[in-house]
Amino acid sequence: MAAPWLGRFAGVHVAMTSDQSSEEKGLIAAEFALGLLAGNDLLDAQRLAATDPDFAQSVVEWEIRLAAMTDELVWEEPNPDLKKAILADLFPEAKRSPFWQRLWVWQATVAFSLFALVGVLAFDLTKPSQTNGPLYTAEIVAEAGDFRVVAVVDKSTNRVFLTRTAGAAPEGRILQVWAHGEGEPAISVGLWNAGDTVSLQMPQTIAAVQGVLTLGVSEEPPGGSTTGSPSGRVFGTVDIPSVTATF
């Protein structure tokens, strides 16, 4: 049986099902996390994520893994003449270039492709996803740049997965995760006592939010805030648009 991604490259849509091998579903999950799926393939992957917990978890793991790749990236504006130069070398108007020149063009093309892929990853993962679920990704970044968290909201289970990629709570303090709908007060989602990653079940009030869902992280005393609202430093918040309610 041919792998489903081969069918897509050949222009033939192959339906994704829950009985595919773990290797096949793992590759599809990677494509889903990278935003490479479109049309029926994207719809199939979204349905699979909503019905197959293992596939949904694989997508979450890929989102977190890819987000970590952008930690050290610094955006640089590409040279506007680069594309013209590459196209001129790829499609010369006159005689065929010598082998050593064509080899340089091949190397430049590969380097340019890798640069473009990294740019796409950095762009996609620093902005909240705007798909129709069930997975929504975003990044919480402190204005001072000393704290960063990648968040993945899984509406198929109403859980939020958070991975800390920079910074930490001060000594003797813990992290606390908050969320709210548009125009609503913040509600505690749960405590983040230790570790780089935490998985929290969203309260029903937060699970019912439709539209813009806001996530935030603060540092609090052991046991969490005693006021019902953030009492310590709020490291940052992020708005995730187009969220649908799922129960």
pTM to 2 decimal places: 0.53
What CA dihedral angle connects 93, 98, 99 and 104, to 10 degrees? -70
Of 138, 143, 127, give the one whose Cα is nearest residue 235.
Answer: 143
- Residues pairing with 159 in the sheet: 154, 201
Rounded (10°) CA dihedral 188, 191, 197, 203:
-40
Are β-strands 159-166 and 197-201 bridged in parallel, bridged antiparallel, or unpaired? antiparallel
Position 20 in a domain = yes
Whichever domain contains 225, its CATH number is 2.60.40
Looking at the structure, do residues 120 and 219 belong to the same domain, yes or no? no
Bond preceding residue 128 cis, omega within 30 of 0? no
Please give the DSSP secondary-structure letter assigned to residue 47.
H
Say if 75 falls within a structural domain. Answer: no
The CA–CA distances, whole Å, from 32 to 112, 164, 170 equal 23, 22, 36
Q: Do 239 and 144 share a domain, yes or no?
A: yes
Six token digits for residue 91: 């499609």
Do residues 182 and 221 both lie within one domain?
yes
pLDDT in tens, 61-88: 887 777 766 656 566 666 667 667 776 7
pLDDT digits (tens, 9 = 90+) for 90-133: 666 655 545 444 444 445 554 445 444 544 444 444 444 444 45
